[in-house]
Amino acid sequence: MTVTPTPAEVRQSEVGRARRRKEDARLVTGQTRWTDNIQAPGLLHIAFLRSPMAHARITRVDVSAAREMPGVVAAFSGADFGAEQGSLPCAWPVTEDIVIPDHPPMATETVRYVGEAVACVVATDRYRAADALEAIEIDYEPLPPVLDLEKALDADSPLVHDAGNRAYTWTLSNGDVEAAFRDAPVVISRTFRQQRLIPAAMEPRAVVVTPLGDEYTVHTSTQIPHILRFLLASVTGVPEHRLRVIAPDVGGGFGSKLQCTAEEVLCLLAAKRLGRPVKWTESRSEGNLTVHHGRDQLQRVQIAAEADGRLRGMKIDLLADMGAYLMLVTPGIPLLGAFMYNGVYKMAAYDFRCTGVFTTKMPTDAYRGAGRPEATFAIERLMDELAAEIGVDPVEVRRRNWITHGEFPYDTVAGLTYDSGDYEAATEKALQLFGYDKLRAEQKDRRDRGDTVQLGIGISTYTEMCGLAPSRVLGQLGNASGGWEQADVRVLPTGKVEVATGATPHGQGHVTAWSQIAADALGVPFEDVSVVYGDTAVVPRGWDTYGSRSLAIGGVAVHLACEKVKEKARRVAAHLMEIDPGDLEYAEGAFRVRGAPAEQGRSIQELAAAVFNAHDMPEGIEPRLDSSATFDPANFSFPHGTHLCAVEVDTETGFTKIRSYVAVDDVGTVVNPLIVDGQVHGGIAQGIGQALYEEAVHDAEGNLLTTTLADYLVPSAADLPAFVTGRTETPATSNPLGVKGVGEAGTIASTPAVVNGIVDALRHLGVRDVQMPCTPERVWRAIGGAS
C-alpha cells in the first residue's frame, strides 16, 4: 500500500517564499552591533582636522597646543606618521601607463581636496577631541584648484599631480564604426552630464581599533572586511595574521564602504602607537565631504541608425572625474559601463573611449550601479531621442532593436555574452501594469488643452552585467581582485545548521536568503539555520558584497556547500544502515532506502549526533558534518527589465511629480520576493534621487557646498509614489540556482525612465534634454520660463 502524504506533510520549498527578514527586528530597533555601539575599556576618540582648501601646499603644521588641551592623549600630523602610513591602495590599474599618484592617508606636503585629513587629535572623549582640533595651527600656501573636467586637460591647466591631469585613456572597439556612421540616415549626438553624487548611507562610517599585544581587531562599517584585512596589512605593514577585521552590522553602503579609507588606516596607526583602543565616528557633514563620491562623468555620445530606427553603431567618448587620487577601484568604474552602452540592443559597430581626469575634489569610486547607470542612462535617453527623430513610439523603436528571446545566448557588440533574457515578456507585462495606452491618451488630451500640468511617459528597457564576477574576467580587465565566493556549512550536534558566508551583508538580508537556500538544500526548517559573517576570525575567506554579487556567487556557494555536506552525510548514513550509499535517497531531511518509509531512514539530526560522538564512523570520514564550497561562475549574470514612469510636470513652476511608476524586473529565480521588492524599491528611489534631487555642488574655490542633508537633497517616502512591481523569471544559465543580482537594477533602470518622462512631457514645447538633477528651476528654464 502506498501512503500519499497529506499536503501539510509535503515540505514547502523555501526558495520563492516571501519570508520576513530574520535580521530586521534588531536592525530597525538599533539593538545591535553598529560599530559606533562598540565599546572597549580605555577607549580613546580620534578627530580629524581637514583641509579647508581644495589645493594648497602645507607650509607648517603645529599640533603642540592641541597636545596641551584637557583630555588630549596625542595629536599627530601627517609628518608624524611619516612613511609608516603608506599609500592608500588602487587595485584596478586599467592601463599599463596609468598614473597612480602616491596617496598618503594624511596629507604631508600638499592637500588636493577640501576635507583631506591634515592632522588628528586623540582624546578621552569626542568633545575634547573636537575642541582640541581648534588649537592646531596650519599654514597653507594656496595653489590653483582644478575643478572642470574639460579644462583640466588643457595644456595650460594647473596640475593636480606632477605627472599631469590625465590618469589614463582606455578604449574598446568592435566593428567598423566609421562605416556605420558614414551615410547613416540618422545620427544623433548628445552630451550628457552625470553629476557627482554623494552616497548617503544611513549609517555614517565608524571605526574602532582595539590592540591586544601585537594583534589588532578592527571593527569598521565596511562592505569588505576580507579585502580590507589584506589591504590594511599591505598599507601599514601590520602582518595580515595579526589583523582581525570585523564588519558588524552595517547600515548601508551602496559602494561607499567598498574602500580602504584613510580613517581606517589612521585609526589603526594611532591605536598601534598608543597601545589603546581608538574610535572614530564621522558626522554627516564629514561624510558628505570625505566618503568617496559617485558618478561625475561627461558623456559625449553618438548613435547611427537606419531610417526605420535600426541601430548601426555607437560612439562613446567619456571624461570621468577621478577626483584627486585613485582609490580602490576608481579608474575601473567607467569600464563597468563600457560593456553596457549597447544595452539590450543589437548593433554592428561600437567605439568606446574613456579618459580618467584628476581634479581637486574628493575621489570618486563605486556607487550603486558603478558605471552601468551612466551607460544605461545614455543609451536609454538616446533611444527616446531616436524614437522622436524618426517619429515612432519609444517602445516600438526598442522592439526594432532589442535582442529577441530566441537569440539568446547572444554575443554583444561590447564583447559580452548575454546568457538569457526575455525583453518582450517583461515589456508586455510592464505596459499592461502601467496602462500605457490610456496614459498616452491622457497625455494627448493635456497637450491639446494646453494644460498647465503636462504628462510625460518615460521608458527604460535595461540590462546590466552583475554578479561580479568571473575571476578570470576580472583578471583580463586588470582588476587585482578575484570574484569567487565561499561558504561553510556546519551541521551542529543538535542538527541545527550554521552557515558562514564570505559575502558580508550590509543590509541586504543575506541571513534570511541564505537560510532559505540552506533549508531547501538540507531539508531542514528555515528557523534551524543561522548565518555568521563579517568577521575574519569567524569566516576567514571571502570577497564580500558589491556589484550585486552576493546571491549569484555567495548564495550559490551556500547551495554547493550544502550539497557536499549531504554527500558526506550519505556515506555516514549508508555505513550506519549497512547499505550501499547509492541505494539511499535524500528527502524531507533524511536519508532512506529508495522507496522506503521516511521513519526507517536516518535524519540529518540523527546523523549529526552520530558524527559528533564518532562512535561508529565509516573509514576515512572525519567526525565533522560540515563542508566548504567556493563558486566562481563562468559568466556575469544579466538581470533585465522594463521600467515605466509617468511624470506630471508643472509648466508654470517646473516642478516634477512622479505620478506612477511600474517596474518589471527579471532577476531570474527569486529566492525571496520581499527582499527583491525591497531592493527594487530602494534602487528606484536612489535612481530617482539622481534624476531629480541629488548633486554634489562645489564653489569656484572647490569648497563642497552640499555638506548637509538640507543642501544635498535625497528623496524620502513622502516624495515617491507607491511603486508597482512585477516580475518575469528567466533563469540565469551561469549558476545552478538560476539567480541573478538585483541590488543595483532599480538604480540603473530608473534614472533614465524619469528623465525620459520629463523630456517626453515637454517635447512639444521644444525641450530635448534637461540636465540632471532636473530641478524645478532647470525644468522651468528648459521650457523657456526665463525668457
Partner 1 sequence: MIPARFDYAQPTSLPQAVSVLSDAGEDAKVLAGGQSLLPLLRMRLAYPSVLVDVGCVSELRGVRDEGDHLFVGAMTTQHDLVRDPLIREHCPLVSLTAATVADPAVRHRGTIGGSLAHADPAGDLPSVAVALDMVFVTRSPREERRIAAADFFLDYLESALETDEILVGLEIPKLGPGWTYHYEKFHRTAQAWAIVGAAVAVRRADGHIAEARIGLTNMAPVPVRASSVEAAVAGAAIDDDVLRRACATADEGTSPASDLHATPEYRRHLARVLTRRALATAARA
Which of these ranges, 78-86, 284-292, 525-533, 578-586, lies near partner 1 under the rule CB under 8 A?
284-292
Entry field: residues in the chain = 787
C-alpha cell at 605: 539530526
Q: Which of 525, 540, 673, 776 binds partner 1 (CB under 8 A)?
A: 776
Minimum CB separation of residue 286 from partner 1 in Å reads 7
C-alpha cell at 598: 521516511
DSSP string for 416-462? -EE----HHHHHHHHHHHHTHHHHHHHHHHHHHHT-SEEEEEEEEEE
C-alpha cell at 658: 512622479
Minimum CB separation of residue 49 from partner 1 in Å reads 13
Rule CB under 8 A: is residue 202 a binding residue for partner 1? no
Q: Which of 172, 392, 655, 769 binds partner 1 (CB under 8 A)?
A: 655
Rule CB under 8 A: is residue 711 a binding residue for partner 1? yes
Minimum CB separation of residue 713 from partner 1 in Å reads 5
Cβ neighbours of residue 148 under 8 Å, at least 6 residues apart? Answer: 359
Which of these ranges, 149-157, 427-435, 469-477, 778-786, lies near partner 1 under the rule CB under 8 A?
778-786
Minimum CB separation of residue 706 from partner 1 in Å reads 7
Question: Pick from 242, 245, 244, 261: which is nearest to 253 by CA?
Answer: 261
User: Which parts of 390-429 interact with partner 1 (CB under 8 A)?
Assistant: none
Q: In the 8-state DSSP scheme, what is residue 402?
A: B
User: What is the torsional sign of CA 589, 594, 597, 599?
Assistant: negative
301 close to 378: Cβ distance less than 8 angstroms: yes
Minimum CB separation of residue 755 from partner 1 in Å reads 16
C-alpha cell at 520: 531547501
Rule CB under 8 A: is residue 290 a binding residue for partner 1? no
Phi-psi bin for 174: left (phi > 0), alpha (psi -120 to 50), beta? beta
Rule CB under 8 A: is residue 715 a binding residue for partner 1? yes
Minimum CB separation of residue 644 from partner 1 in Å reads 23
Minimum CB separation of residue 714 from partner 1 in Å reads 8
> CA 54, CA 481: separation in Å to the nearest integer?
32
Residues that bind partner 1 (rule: CB under 8 A) add up to a total of 34
Torsion, Cα of 328, 334, 339, 342 (10° steps) = 160
Which of these ranges, 384-392, 414-422, 424-432, 707-715, lies near partner 1 under the rule CB under 8 A?
707-715
Which of these ranges, 180-188, 544-552, 584-592, 713-721, lies near partner 1 under the rule CB under 8 A?
713-721
Which of these ranges, 31-39, 323-331, 557-565, 769-777, lies near partner 1 under the rule CB under 8 A?
769-777
Please report how the helices 673-688 and 745-762 are oriented relative to each other, as an axis angle in degrees rounded to 10.
Answer: 50
780 close to 584: Cβ distance less than 8 angstroms: no
Cβ neighbours of residue 543 under 8 Å, at least 6 residues apart? Answer: 226, 227, 481, 482, 483, 484, 485, 502, 503, 549, 553
Q: Which of 46, 423, 775, 782 binds partner 1 (CB under 8 A)?
A: 775
Please report how the helices 510-522 and 556-577 are oriented relative to each other, as an axis angle in degrees rounded to 10.
Answer: 30
338 close to 297: Cβ distance less than 8 angstroms: no
Rule CB under 8 A: is residue 622 a binding residue for partner 1? no
Minimum CB separation of residue 115 from partner 1 in Å reads 14
Which of these ranges, 152-160, 282-290, 398-406, 612-620, lies near partner 1 under the rule CB under 8 A?
282-290
Rule CB under 8 A: is residue 240 a binding residue for partner 1? no
C-alpha cell at 65: 597646543
Rule CB under 8 A: is residue 697 a binding residue for partner 1? yes
Cβ nearer to partner 1, comparing 47 with 608: 47
From residue 23 to residue 52, what is the string marking binding to partner 1 with x (rule CB under 8 A)? ------------------------x-----
Rule CB under 8 A: is residue 784 a binding residue for partner 1? no
Minimum CB separation of residue 697 from partner 1 in Å reads 6
Q: Which of 51, 642, 706, 725 binds partner 1 (CB under 8 A)?
A: 706
> CA 172, CA 477: separation in Å to the nearest integer?
12
779 close to 762: Cβ distance less than 8 angstroms: yes
- How would you label 649-684 residue by residue, b for 16+ Cβ within 10 Å and e otherwise? bebeebbbebbbbbbbbbbbbbbbeebbbbbbbbbb
Cβ nearer to partner 1, comparing 390 with 685: 685
Which of these ranges, 110-118, 571-579, 619-627, 716-724, lies near partner 1 under the rule CB under 8 A?
716-724
Q: Which of 162, 710, 722, 766 binds partner 1 (CB under 8 A)?
A: 710
> CA 776, CA 437: separation in Å to the nearest integer?
28
Rule CB under 8 A: is residue 719 a binding residue for partner 1? yes
Minimum CB separation of residue 283 from partner 1 in Å reads 3
DSSP string for 33-57? -BGGG---TT-EEEEEEE-SSSSEE
Q: Which of 187, 348, 439, 713 binds partner 1 (CB under 8 A)?
A: 713
User: Which parts of 114-153 interact with partner 1 (CB under 8 A)?
Assistant: 126-127, 129-131
Which of these ranges, 259-267, 335-343, 712-720, 730-738, lies near partner 1 under the rule CB under 8 A?
712-720
C-alpha cell at 787: 525668457
Cβ nearer to partner 1, comparing 28 with 697: 697
Rule CB under 8 A: is residue 648 a binding residue for partner 1? no
Rule CB under 8 A: is residue 785 a binding residue for partner 1? yes
Minimum CB separation of residue 672 from partner 1 in Å reads 30
Cβ nearer to partner 1, comparing 193 with 284: 284
For the chain, the distance separating the N- and C-terminal CA atoms, rounded to the nearest angstrom, is 88
Which of these ranges, 160-168, 527-535, 602-610, 702-710, lies near partner 1 under the rule CB under 8 A?
702-710
Helix and strand numbers, DSSP H then E, in the chain: 20, 28
Where along the sequence are the contacts to partner 1 (CB under 8 A)?
A: 47, 126-127, 129-131, 283-286, 652-653, 655, 692-693, 697, 705-706, 708, 710-711, 713-716, 718-719, 775-777, 780-781, 785-786
